[in-house]
Amino acid sequence: MELGKRYRLSAKVKLRKERFGGVIYCHKTQRLFLVSSLLIPFLEADGTETTGEIAQMLHHEGCLPINALGKVSEELDRLARAGVIDEL
């Protein structure tokens, strides 16, 4: 995971929390994405903190096992490639 990155939801993208995590809808591409609850804090931060800062905070709170970091990183990359989040 590249810890210094900051992400923000792209324009015309909406996020809603669900039992399993969240749903994201991109109005521009009309695509729907499902994300796990691990991703939600990274998406809600809205670019105010780096992924490293968020991961560290979650880890201290016992909400992010070290072995889940790779999965979170992959998911953020996937969303960035799909134009759902922008790197600041």
Partner 1 sequence: MSYELLRSGLKAPLCITWELTSACNLQCIHCLSSSGKRARGELTLEECRSILDDLARMKVFYINMGGGEPLLRSDFFDIARYSLEQGIDIQVSTNGTLLGESVVRQMADLPGLRVQVSLDGADAATNDTIRGQGSYRKARESLELLARHDIDFSINCVLTQLSFPQLDTFSDLARSYGARLRVSRLRPSGRGSKKWEQLRPTMEQNMLFYHWLLAHPEVLTGDSFFFLSALGQELDGLSMCGAGRITCCLTPCGDIYPCAFLIWPQFWAGNVRQKPLSVMWLNAPIFQHLRLYEAEACHGCPHSSSCHGGCIAAAFFATGSLGNPDPECVVSLTSNERTV
Chain residues that interact with partner 1, rule: CB under 8 A: 12, 14, 16, 18-20, 23, 25, 27-28, 30-32, 34
* Half-sphere exposure for 61 (CA within 13 Å, toward CB): 10
Residue spans of alpha helices (H) in the chain? 40-44, 51-60, 69-81
Q: For partner 1, which is the closer residue by CB, 2 or 18?
A: 18
Q: For partner 1, which is the closer residue by CB, 23 or 80?
A: 23
Q: How far is the CB of 4 from partner 1 (least distance, A)?
A: 31
Q: How far is the CB of 31 from partner 1 (least distance, A)?
A: 8
Quick one: which H or E segment has residue 15?
A: strand 13-18
Q: For partner 1, which is the closer residue by CB, 14 or 44?
A: 14
CA distance 71 to 31: 21
Q: How far is the CB of 19 from partner 1 (least distance, A)?
A: 7
